[in-house]
Amino acid sequence: MNTWSYHLTVKSNKEINIKDYLSKKLLIPKHLIYSLRKDKRILVNQKYLPMNFNIKNSDKLSLKFQDSDFNLPIQNILPDESRTIPIVYENDDLIVVNKPKGIKTHPNYKFEKGTLLNFIEAYLNQKNQHAYMIHRLDKETSGLIIIGKNPAVVPILIRLIKDKAIKRCYLAWVEGVVTKKRGVINQPIGLDSRDPRKRKINGANAKNALTKYKVITTKNNKSLLALELETGRTHQIRVHLSSIHHPIIGDPLYNSNKYDCRMFLHAWKLKLILPFSMKSISIKNEIK
């Protein structure tokens, strides 16, 4: 049976009960808190206490998760050793890699190989670990992507992304000179009924989408933008930039100009919150 143990120091400016600290400060889901309580796999200063007891700053917490706590403790991802992926950051819980352009983030069907998760699964299998998807990038988008190394961190990282505590910044070269140096694109994105591969502004089942941008430089009638997402819709940056008539250079779906080059969209910077310690770190990775 696989287990994952954490030994933490409580950080709180006032007393707080154990359950609230786990759920509100560490963002541990209710079903995992229940498992920890039921089997007494949570200790405070090396003793078990009921969940409604208060803890204070500098108390020591010990948590122990096990396979049975999770519906899918191991994801069925085939390892693929045919490609080495550049590692930008790694600790015991997660790995941040530089995804190359032209490969998918994850498999879509049984026995599929050749995706980022297949390559990372092969790397982690050397340490008897497995790859867990946290978020994704489009196939033609390069750059920073977070992958979990155990199931305990997955719901926490997903929650941090959903709550915008983890912030991601992208770079894109676009057509034309963007005259407004800073801006916000706030347009709902839905399905494109004419092309199942695409999304469109106010398409079918549209959902709100908001993208912030800043012009970094302009050159040869092209602009380099830094972009931050407030929502996470499929193709959001690509659709939004096309909607303001500045499509991404090399975008095969949303730019009518045809190029023989890659699509110039890159996940550039990441403000990462590390699960359990909740420490914030910044990671940057330039376009290769």
pLDDT at 256: 87
pLDDT at 288: 56
Band of residue 139 on the pLDDT scale cut at 50, 70, 90 = very high
Q: Which CATH architecture has domain 71-163?
A: 2-Layer Sandwich (3.30)
Band of residue 17 on the pLDDT scale cut at 50, 70, 90 = very high
Band of residue 261 on the pLDDT scale cut at 50, 70, 90 = confident
Average pLDDT of the segment spanning 251-259: 88
Average pLDDT of the segment spanning 167-178: 96
- DSSP-assigned states of every residue in the chain: --EEEEEEE---SS-EEHHHIIIIIS---HHHHHHHHHTT-EEETTB---TTSEE-TT-EEEEEEEGGG-S-SS-------S-PPPEEEE-SSEEEEEEPTTS-SS--STT--SSHHHHHHHHHHTTT---EE-----TT-EEEEEEESSTTTHHHHHHHHHTT-SEEEEEEEEES---SSEEEEE--EEE-TT-TT-EEET-EEEE--EEEEEEEEEETTEEEEEEEESS--TTHHHHHHHHTT-PBTT-TTT-SS--SS---EEEEEEEEEPTTT--EEEEE----
> With respect to CATH, is domain 3-69 assigned 3.10.290.10?
yes
Average pLDDT of the segment spanning 132-151: 95
pLDDT at 28: 97
Average pLDDT of the segment spanning 217-226: 96
Mean pLDDT lowest among 55-64, 203-212, 241-250, 279-288: 279-288
Render pLDDT for 23-79 as a digit per residue (tens, 0 to 9): 999 999 999 999 999 999 999 999 999 999 999 999 999 999 998 898 765 567 999
Mean pLDDT lowest among 13-22, 254-263, 264-273, 278-287: 254-263
164 strand-pairing partners: none
In CATH, which of 3.40.50.1820, 3.40.50.300, 3.30.2350.10, 3.40.190.10 is domain 169-267?
A: 3.30.2350.10
Asked whether the CA dihedral 139, 166, 277, 86 is positive or negative, the reply is positive
- Mean pLDDT taken over the chain: 94
pLDDT at 177: 97
pLDDT at 106: 94
pLDDT at 72: 63
Catalytic residues: 138
Average pLDDT of the segment spanning 136-154: 95
pLDDT at 76: 78
Average pLDDT of the segment spanning 174-203: 95
Domain ranges across the chain: 3-69, 71-163, 169-267
Same fold: 71-163 with 169-267: yes
